[in-house]
Amino acid sequence: MAPESERLIDTVRGCTFDDFLFRPQYSVLERRDPATIDLSCRFSEHITLKRPIVSANMDTVTRAPMAIVQAEEGGLGIIDRGFKSGDIEPQVREVEKVKRTQHVIIRDPYAVTPEMTLGQAIAIMRRSRVGTLVVVDAERRLRGLLTERDVRFVPTGETKVSSRMTPVDALVTGVGELTLDQAERLMLERKVKKLPLVDAAGRLLGLITSRDIVRQARLPFASRDAHGRLLVGAAIGAKGDYLERAAELLKAGVDVIVIDIAHGHSVVMERAIAAFRARFGATELVAGNVATGEGVRFLVDRGVNAVKIGIGPGGGCTTRITTSFGVPQIQALVECRLAAGVTEPVPLIADGGVRRHGAILEALLFGGDTVMLGSMFAGTEETPGEIVQKPVVLPEAQRTVKVPFKVLRGMASIQAIRDRLDVEDADSVDIEALGAEGTEVSVPARGSVRPIVQDILRHLSSSVSYGGVTSLTELRERFWDDPFRYLQKLSASAKRESYER
Ligand code: XMP
């Protein structure tokens, strides 16, 4: 190992986020605007994101609403596997909801047939709150469009859709899978707000609306697949129904599978990766968690496309307390980064332990290509779970008020394990004996997660500016070229001065 790397490992041994600050550099940026600063990163070997934020696969953090916001803001959500064993469909449904979130092409627009009555068409418009219906025949060939305006002021009773629709010959249509740019140009040229897409035989492929194009333009950083759909990941285990679960998730269009177990450097993981690769070939696969160089090499040698790093730093996690195993997260990230290689390595996901925005930059410089956040998003509108009103004592006012709370729990907490088990299993298994490594806490309910993500990105952009560079990638490269130009280890009093408020 190069002497500089040894010095770095010595410096970070036993350390975590609050043990460091970075020395400010001459800034070359006029503005610290996330819209103009490049924060792009690699999530895994074949997935690049414009923002390095990933929401944790925890059953109190990431389901479809969270994953949608994360992908719209340029990051990624990983749907948790906290559903009962054998109960695969609910997780698949969450993935489908993300993949069906429409911004560009509506693949399955509301449709009527020419023979239906206007009364029936109006009922569909009212129910779906959609003002334009596509008209298709039994073979799904496009026959026309019917809008709210077409049905206004006409006797609706038995009048047929065919008598009021704009017929296909009078419509502007796109043939084949147009790119968004081609569709936009065509709509501008021909001054239409709706563009049905058909195949060579005239069968409906989808519908593009100008409203959706505008909405898409408002999300310039969103993480999308080749068809313009939002990206989403999903977690599976390493035993039981995990292969079946993966097969169904992939069928639903999930973009990446994460084999997530507490101790990823294990015989159980080795078997799971081999079986996964045998069945699903080169499907994008992330595995974790590990926290040592040996752990990373073990997973990389088995052909995973990214590795998740973190044993015990998580907010809802008690592994270190209950087992005395784990590695302080900054030490873990540096060791794992050196093991994975510094240039063009397998991407690492820094998972857990981030309690303040500044720590995100540390996670991203010391080793993470992306950072996975759980408790930072807890209590937001997009997290699953009910709001409960809890009494809170206000000592100054000498009274009690009801405050809305949501639950955040570790995925290895007794409660989360109990929910994953079938009822019969719960009777036959001594749950305590499973060895819980997580806790459940109440977190004050707050608004949407979107402004929190946007705040994080603003702070990250400021960090890039303080770092004297113009992009996150450049900052990482500079740091690894000469870590001690940036790194300052803090004394106990400097930690107090920095982080105690
Ligand atoms: P933060 O600190 O962002 O961390 O809340 C999220 C990560 O914590 C991990 N996690 C657990 N680890 N027992 C554990 O050992 C648990 O019950 C548990 N629940 C979550 C997980 O890696 C997550 O992404």
What integer is the mean pLDDT of 271-298?
Answer: 98
Alpha carbons 411 and 395: distance in angstroms, whole number: 34
pLDDT in tens, 362-420: 999 999 999 999 999 999 999 998 888 988 888 887 889 888 898 888 777 777 776 66
Q: What percent of the chain has pLDDT over 90?
A: 73
| Non-local CB neighbours of 49 within 8 Å, separated by 6+ positions | 40, 41, 42, 43, 74, 75, 76, 223, 231, 370
Statement: residue 143 has pLDDT above 60: yes
pLDDT in tens, 52-99: 999 999 989 999 999 999 999 999 999 998 777 678 999 999 999 999
Please tell me the predicted confidence (pLDDT) of residue 226. Answer: 83
Alpha carbons 332 and 336: distance in angstroms, whole number: 6
Alpha carbons 272 and 280: distance in angstroms, whole number: 12
Q: Where are the beta strands (DSSP E) in 253-357?
A: 256-260, 285-290, 306-309, 348-351
Ligand 1 atom showing the smallest separation from residue 355 Cα: 2
**To which CATH superfamily is domain 3-102+222-382+449-476 assigned?**
Aldolase class I (3.20.20.70)
Please tell me the predicted confidence (pLDDT) of residue 420. Answer: 62
Please tell me the predicted confidence (pLDDT) of residue 426. Answer: 41
Statement: residue 250 has pLDDT above 60: yes
Please tell me the predicted confidence (pLDDT) of residue 218. Answer: 83
95 close to 252: Cβ distance less than 8 angstroms: yes
Which phi-psi region, left, alpha or beta, contains residue 244 (left: φ > 0; alpha: ψ -120 to 50)? alpha
Alpha carbons 34 and 36: distance in angstroms, whole number: 5
Please tell me the predicted confidence (pLDDT) of residue 419. Answer: 66
Starting from the edge strand earliest in sequence, which strands make up the sheet with 399-409, in order?
Answer: 388-394, 399-409, 440-444
Instruction: Write out 164-178 in H/E/C secondary structure.
Output: CCEEHHHCCCEECCC
For the ranges 26-30, 225-229, 322-326, 329-333, the lowest mean pLDDT is seen at 225-229
- Amino acid sitting at position 445: A
Q: How many CB atoms lie within 10 A of CB 370?
A: 27
Please tell me the predicted confidence (pLDDT) of residue 394. Answer: 85
Alpha carbons 453 and 403: distance in angstroms, whole number: 24
Tokens encoding 358: 């500044």
Residues identified as active-site: 317, 420
Tokens encoding 106: 């509506």
56 close to 62: Cβ distance less than 8 angstroms: yes
Statement: residue 6 has pLDDT above 80: yes
Statement: residue 422 has pLDDT above 80: no
Ligand 1 atom showing the smallest separation from residue 416 Cα: 17
390-404 per-residue burial string, b: 16 or more CB within 10 A, e: under 16: eeeeeeeeeeeeeee
Mean pLDDT for the chain? 91
| Non-local CB neighbours of 165 within 8 Å, separated by 6+ positions | 114, 135, 143, 144, 145, 146, 150
What integer is the mean pLDDT of 209-237?
Answer: 89
At 236, is the pLDDT very low, low, confident or very high (cuts 50, 70, 90)? very high
Bridge partners of 21? 488
Ligand 1 pocket member 56 (CB < 6 A): yes
Ligand 1 pocket member 373 (CB < 6 A): yes
At 492, is the pLDDT very low, low, confident or very high (cuts 50, 70, 90)? very high
Q: Please give the CATH number for the structural domain made up of 111-218.
A: 3.10.580.10
Please tell me the predicted confidence (pLDDT) of residue 85. Answer: 66
Q: What percent of the chain has pLDDT over 70?
A: 95
Alpha carbons 230 and 69: distance in angstroms, whole number: 10
Ligand 1 pocket member 196 (CB < 6 A): no
Please tell me the predicted confidence (pLDDT) of residue 424. Answer: 35
What integer is the mean pLDDT of 283-295?
Answer: 98
Ligand 1 pocket member 374 (CB < 6 A): yes
Please tell me the predicted confidence (pLDDT) of residue 423. Answer: 37
Cα 141 to middle of ligand 1, angstroms: 50
What integer is the mean pLDDT of 224-228?
Answer: 85
Please tell me the predicted confidence (pLDDT) of residue 316. Answer: 82
pLDDT in tens, 147-205: 999 998 887 778 999 999 999 999 999 998 887 788 889 999 999 999 999 999 999 99
Tell me what percent of the chain is helix, strand and coil, each rounded to the nearest 5: 40, 20, 40
State the DSSP code for 208. E
State the DSSP code for 432. G
Q: Whose CA is nearest to atom 14 of ligand 1?
A: 317
Ligand 1 pocket member 62 (CB < 6 A): no
What are the sequence ranges of the domains in the chain? 3-102+222-382+449-476, 111-218
pLDDT in tens, 426-473: 444 454 555 566 778 888 899 999 999 999 999 999 999 999 999 999
Token pair 């794992």 is at which residue? 336
Please tell me the predicted confidence (pLDDT) of residue 64. Answer: 96
- Which among 314-328, 331-345, 477-491 has the top mean pLDDT? 477-491
Ligand 1 atom showing the smallest separation from residue 262 Cα: 15
Tokens encoding 438: 């997580």
Ligand 1 pocket member 241 (CB < 6 A): no
Cα 315 to middle of ligand 1, angstroms: 6
pTM, rounded to two decimals: 0.84
The three-state secondary structure class of 34 is coil
At 1, is the pLDDT very low, low, confident or very high (cuts 50, 70, 90)? confident
Distances (CA, A) of 236 to 22, 65, 84, 224: 37, 19, 12, 22
Q: Whose CA is nearest to atom 19 of ligand 1?
A: 410
Q: In this structure, is the dihedral angle defined by the CA atoms of residues 209, 215, 221 and 224, taken in order, positive or negative?
A: negative
Please tell me the predicted confidence (pLDDT) of residue 108. Answer: 82
Cα 314 to middle of ligand 1, angstroms: 4
User: Which of residues 253 and 399 earns the better pLDDT score?
Assistant: 253
